[in-house]
Every structure is written in C-alpha cells, then in structure tokens.
Structure 1
Amino acid sequence: MRLIAVFLIAFALGGCSSLYYGAMEKVGIHKREIMVDRVKAARDSQDEAKQQFLTAMEQFKSVVDFRGEDLEKEYNRFNSTLQDSEARAAEVRRRIAAVEDVSQALFKEWRTEIEQYSSDTLRSSSQRKYDLTRKKYTELISAMKRAEARLEPVLVPLRDQVLFMKHNLNARAIAGLSNELASVQTNVDSLVRDMERAIAQADAFIASLQAE
C-alpha cells in the first residue's frame, strides 16, 4: 500500500518536477532511470511522427492526383490525416520538454554532488564523466530540436491545403494543389532525415548511459 501511495503522490506532483523526482527516488527510481525512459519515449515519438508525416505526404499526393467525384470525402480524409500529424508533432514537443526537464535536474544534482568529494581523484573522475555525459546530451538534444524545428514548416503548407480544399471543394481547386507538391515533398524529406539522425543519436546516448 505504501508503494502505491508513493506512486499516486508522484503522479499527482507530476507538474512540480522537484517534488515528483523526490517522490520517485523514495521508491528507488532515480533521475538517471527517468532520463533514459524519457529519451526512449522522445525517440519513439519522433519515429512515430516520421511515419505519420510520410503518411501525410502520401495522402497529399493522392489528393493532388484525385480524379473522382466525392471531393468532400477526400477532404475529410486529408483533414483527418492533418489532425493526426498535429497530434504527433505535439507529442514530439512534449517528450523533448520532458527530457530537458529531468536532464536539468540530473545535471544540477550531479554538479552539487561532485563538490562533496573529499578525494581529489574521485572528484576528477566524476567530473570527467559529467563532462562527457553532458557533451553527449547536448548533441542529443540539439539533434532532437533540429528535427522538432522541421515539424512546423511541414505542417504549415498542409494546414493551408486543407483549408484551401475546405473553401474550394471542386476539381479546379484540387488541380491547383499540384503547385505545392514539390515544396511539401522537400520539407517532408528534410524532416525525415533530421528525425532519423535524432533517433540514431538517442539510441547511442541510451547505450552510453546503460554501458556505464
């Protein structure tokens, strides 16, 4: 019962980071473990977003090439795809923010504890590990944020085209979407490349932490 109570408290305090991490440590779950879990979650959310945006690109192509009569049905399908893409983008942003939050707490605690060593040798060794981990983390979060920055440039033209379809549900308007196809494809290609780089760096970062 006590364990369940601590988890309920931790869940309730999720919005207050320091209290949340303190509650989790009481049940043996430390910031390092939370950090690894959150990096994994951020990696997975980016992979899911990558797949969703590839789906959105295929949907966009099918809209441009659409020659049928039920344009409203096609609009509804494309609009649904856009909403899914927006949700995936929001999840990526939320996961990256969660990684940053726990990382700040972990590195702050680590810096404080380094000063507590009475042994110069152990202090220097811990400082070297801190510096190396911090460097790897900085590279990781930079890669994640580069990929995150690609989300909005892809979403903007997709939003525009959904709105354009809504206001112009006719074959002539649909034909006009083809002018945007190349720029949307370029943005999606760039997004996918950056996502894949960020995912690879997340895997390497997780492996380096778990190897220690």
Structure 2
Amino acid sequence: MKIRPFILAAVIFGLSGCSSMYYGTMEKLGVHKREIMVDRVKAARDTQNEAKEQFLTAMGQYKRVVNFQGGDLEKEYDRLNATLQRSEAKAGEVRARIRSVEDVSEALFSEWRSEIKHYTSDTLRRSSQQKYDLTKQKYAELITAMKRAESRLEPALVPLRDQVLFMKHNLNAMAIAGLSRELISVETNVDELVNEIEVSVAQADAFIASLENE
C-alpha cells in the first residue's frame, strides 16, 4: 500500500490518537485495515531483518574485542558500547512493530467476525467464515513466530550488556582476555536469535502473499 500525500495527517494522528479513531479515519480515506495490516507486517519483517544484521554486527564487534592484540582499548570499548546501544534500539523497534501488528489484527478480526453475522446469504456467510478461519490460522502462525524471535532478543542482549559494563571498569588487556570465556554463550544466543528471526521473516512473507493473492 502506498500512503497518499493527503492522508499523511491521518497517519500522524494515528500515532498519537487511539487506534479505533485512527482506523476509522483511514477507512474514510479509503485505506482499509487489511492494507494497514499488510503494511505493518512488512514493516515488522523488515525491522526483524535489520535487527538480525545489527546483532551479527554486535557479534563481530565482540569477537574483535576478545581478540584484542593491542592499541587503544578505550576506543574498542566505545565502539562496542555504541554497537550495544544500536542493538538495544533495534530490539525496541522490533517489539514496537510486533505490537502494532497485534493491534491492527485485533481490530481487523473483530470487525470481520461482526460482519459475518450480517450476511443474509448462507453461501456467502460460509465463504466469508472459511476465509476468516484460514486467515486467522495463518496469522496465529505468524505472530507465534514473531514472538519466538522477540523472546530471543533479551537473551542476546544480556551477555552483551554484561561485557560492556565489565569493560567499562576493566580497561586492561588481562581483563579483556577473560571475556573469551563468554564468547560461546554470546555466539549461541545470537545464533538462536538469528534462526528465529529467519523463521519469522519466512512466515511474514507467506502471510503477506496469502493476503495479497486473495
């Protein structure tokens, strides 16, 4: 969905106002909940991909510190700390994107359930119910995958936070050498996060395709 210039104000309003008022305003402007849902799933997918790349960058930076062979140790700390802050920010963005998907999906499915009752044709009612059930099932698979990926964010961040904090107060080569003991744990957590994100992204692609092909 391409957001037309004249509805930009409505978009801004939706970010600060309540969801129901936002969706109602967008509906009047010709932008339906299904379109908003597709857009938000795409945004969540893209943000998860960005988070994957950010955490892989953090992993690389951590390895660089562990393999420190001399130079300006404080600069290495500053780089790792900056990488951690970007990782924290991206994790927060992933969480927000998932919440926005949940918000619009709740509104969409609630409206859909209500409207199914209004059919006078049994055939059309059954057809709409079948589409609802199938879409709801696919959505459940999607949000489950997204939340599994989200659940791996904090475990990946915790050891990075610990090591940055440790470095802050122990800027010497001997202390840095001790960080190597945590390398396997850090790698494992990041690898698990990356795997879950890739599953979630694949689910998002499948869900988007199912909605766009209807």
Query: TM tier, shorter chain?
Result: over 0.9
Counterpart secondary structure, 1:209: helix
Taking only the aligned residue pairs, the percentage that are identical comes to 71
Distance 2:53 2:172 in 1: 30
User: What does residue 111 of structure 1 align with?
Assistant: 113
Question: Which has the higher mean CA deviation after the structures are superposed, 3-12 or 45-54?
Answer: 3-12
Q: Return the letter of the residue paired with 2:116.
A: I
Contact in 2 for aligned 1:45/1:92 (Cα 8 Å)? yes
Distance 1:186 1:37 in 2: 32
Give 1:12 deviation, angstroms. Answer: 2.0
The answer to whether the aligner puts 1:44 opposite 2:43 as a matched pair is no
Counterpart secondary structure, 2:119: coil
User: What does residue 134 of structure 1 align with?
Assistant: 136
1:79-158 aligned at under 5 Å gives the runs: 79-158=81-160
Give 1:9 deviation, angstroms. Answer: 4.1
Distance 1:140 1:112 in 2: 23
Distance 2:11 2:165 in 1: 42
Q: Which runs of 5+ in 2 are unaligned?
A: none
TM-score if structure 2 supplies the norm length?
0.95
Contact in 2 for aligned 1:7/1:23 (Cα 8 Å)? no
User: What does residue 27 of structure 2 align with?
Assistant: 25
Counterpart secondary structure, 2:145: helix
Give 1:6 deviation, angstroms. Answer: 5.5
Distance 2:124 2:105 in 1: 22
User: What does residue 11 of structure 1 align with?
Assistant: 12
Give 1:11 deviation, angstroms. Answer: 1.8
Distance 1:126 1:57 in 2: 47
Contact in 2 for aligned 1:39/1:202 (Cα 8 Å)? yes
Q: Return the letter of the residue paired with 2:36.
A: I
Distance 1:173 1:196 in 2: 35
Give 1:26 deviation, angstroms. Answer: 1.1
Q: Return the letter of the residue paired with 1:46.
A: Q
- Cα RMSD (Å): 1.2
The answer to whether the aligner puts 1:76 opposite 2:78 as a matched pair is yes
Q: Which runs of 5+ in 1 are unaligned?
A: none
Distance 1:13 1:85 in 2: 27
Closer/same/farther in 2, CA of residues 10 and 47 from structure 1, 3 Å limit? closer
Counterpart secondary structure, 1:56: helix
Distance 2:50 2:201 in 1: 11
User: What does residue 167 of structure 1 align with?
Assistant: 169
TM-score if structure 1 supplies the norm length?
0.96
Contact in 1 for aligned 2:10/2:26 (Cα 8 Å)? no
Question: Which has the higher mean CA deviation after the structures are superposed, 199-208 or 4-13?
Answer: 4-13
Counterpart secondary structure, 2:184: helix
Distance 2:59 2:14 in 1: 40
